[in-house]
Amino acid sequence: MKSAYEIAMERADEVYGTDDKDVNSLEIREELKEIMAPFFKEEMDAEGLWHRLKDKDQEYLKEAQLMLIESIGLRNSSEQIKRRKEAVAAVESLKEGGNTTFFEKQFTQAQSLQQQYQTQKQQLDEQIKQHLEQAQGQGQNPLAAAQSGNDQGQNGMNAQMKQQLAQKVAEFQEGFNKRFNKLIKKMKAEIE
């Protein structure tokens, strides 16, 4: 009787069209998780990762780079993005005909975009805070409004303002996510 894992691997082989000679990307990723875990836990630097991957096939190197690239996002710190940049460049140096300059430029753009995101997010958060403070200053004391029974109009205004602020935040997030995802897609395309 086969385990669920064995059945899943067979299905993955069918989907990805691999045979016994080839190793599919799911199996490669499983092996890479163990190899790369110390890097993601910040127990190993890019050079250490390079040493652990230097004897691996090109497919392993590509998957390792994809995993590194997929692990970055706007909420990462600048330092985390820098670590991924160094690791991707280190792995790229192991590949035949590697293009480390391309990845260094793309990661520099990612860092810049992340910093812009953080700066503008702080400004947006400050604007929202000011709007809320102004609304409270213009309105009646919430306790007095509740006691007088006149909180329906106040809540309607607050609900509308909250909706506008939520929409502004959503548009802000969406704009930066699109730009960041485009950058990620470009890097992934270079690997594949």
DSSP 122-177: HHHHHHHHHHHHHHHHHS--HHHHHHHT--HHHHHHHHHHHHHHHHHHHHHHHHHH
Question: What is the rounded distance in angstroms from the CA atom of residue 99 to the CA atom of residue 101?
Answer: 6
Mean pLDDT of 166-187: 91
Q: What stretches of the chain adopt beta strand conformation (E)?
A: none
3-state helix, strand, coil in the chain (%, to 5): 80, 0, 20
Question: What is the rounded distance in angstroms from the CA atom of residue 159 to the CA atom of residue 45?
Answer: 49
Higher pLDDT, 148 or 174: 174
pLDDT in tens, 104-115: 999 999 999 999
Residue 175: other Cβ atoms inside 10 A:
12
Please give the pLDDT value at position 22. Answer: 52
Closest CA to 61 of 52, 72, 74: 52
Please give the pLDDT value at position 143. Answer: 46
Question: What is the rounded distance in angstroms from the CA atom of residue 63 to the CA atom of residue 65?
Answer: 5
Please give the pLDDT value at position 1. Answer: 67
Q: Tokens 């096939």 identify what position?
A: 57
102 CB-side CA count, 13 A: 13
The percentage of residues in the chain with a pLDDT greater than 90, rounded to a whole number, is 53
pLDDT in tens, 54-109: 999 999 999 999 999 999 998 889 899 999 999 999 999 999 888 889 999 999 99
Q: Return the domain boundaries, the chain.
A: 4-191
3-state DSSP assignment of residue 18: coil
pTM exceeds 0.85, yes or no:
no
Q: What's the gap between Cα 127 and its chain centre?
A: 25
Please give the pLDDT value at position 137. Answer: 72
